[in-house]
Amino acid sequence: MTRARMCALAFSALAVTALIGGCTSAENASEPSTTDGGSITVFAAASLKSAFTEIGRQFETDNPGSSVEFSFAGSSDLVTQLTQGADADVFASADTRNMDKAVAAELVAGGPVNFATNTLTIAVAPGNPKGIKSFADLAKPGTSVVVCAPPVPCGAATEKIEKATGVTLSPVSEETSVTDVLGKVTSGQADAGLVYVTDTAGAQDKVDGVAFPEAAQAVNTYPIAVLNESQHTPLAHRFVDLVTGETGQKALAKAGFAKP
């Protein structure tokens, strides 16, 4: 074989190798990697702040290069924002009623998954100076009480208890989130407030919690769902899987949530 012939064959082999490599690279470039980073936005009920912040840190550890941003507020406010076009990848509600609104508005991809439950308790100043021992005590003259507004899950639960007990409260204010109710009590603007057991647990020594049996008649179930408009659907599903999985459930239990 002549030297010219050998060079020609070598050149052809190199060209084929380069072509195959180029095609392979092009194919790989067209297929999104499951490990690509990205950022997701999670709209979550205010009462989930402590647990979801911890879960979010674990999510970022499990998905290097990815991040999660939270918007915490009353569930009814979050649904309103979503129906008005707010961008988010995941929605976690403090009740099924507001999740149902998101489903009806065709915002949800697939079906929501229930991941936790929460129960109301009475938040009072440390030492319970007013001596509040029952739900009925909240209706006593001279007791300033703060509750959530009716559209908010904790407000809807309060209304259920009022109807079940026949005790009608006269709150000094109705707040748009349970954290605002807690804030009124911790700041001394109210003698008592109806919040979740998770809120009094998270407040540590800033308030005391007074449990009452009627709360069992208005337990809130928390659902979570990936949203249709998510630009990072695989990551959004991973976050939901983390919340509903063993790691997420441990974080929720630590914060005082019960299983659904």
Asked whether the predicted pLDDT for residue 21 surpasses 60, the reply is no
Which residue is listed with tokens 């507001």? Answer: 98
Distance CA 238, CA 244 (A): 10
Tell me what percent of the residues of the chain surpass a pLDDT of 70. Answer: 86
DSSP summary character for residue 256: T
Mean pLDDT taken over the chain? 89
Say which residues have a Cβ less than 8 Å from residue 2's Cβ, sequence separation at least 6. Answer: none
| Distance of alpha carbon 51 from alpha carbon 109, whole angstroms | 24
Contact call for residues 258 and 65 (beta carbons, < 8 A): no
* Alpha carbons 251 and 226: distance in angstroms, whole number: 20
pLDDT at 204: 84
Q: What is the mean pLDDT of residues 15-34?
A: 38
pLDDT band with cut points at 50, 70 and 90 for residue 37? confident
The predicted-structure confidence for 98-150, as pLDDT tens digits, reads as follows 999 999 999 999 999 999 999 999 999 999 999 999 999 999 999 999 999 99
Tell me: pLDDT of 248 over 60.
yes
Q: At what angle do helices 178-186 and 153-165 cross, to 10 degrees?
A: 80
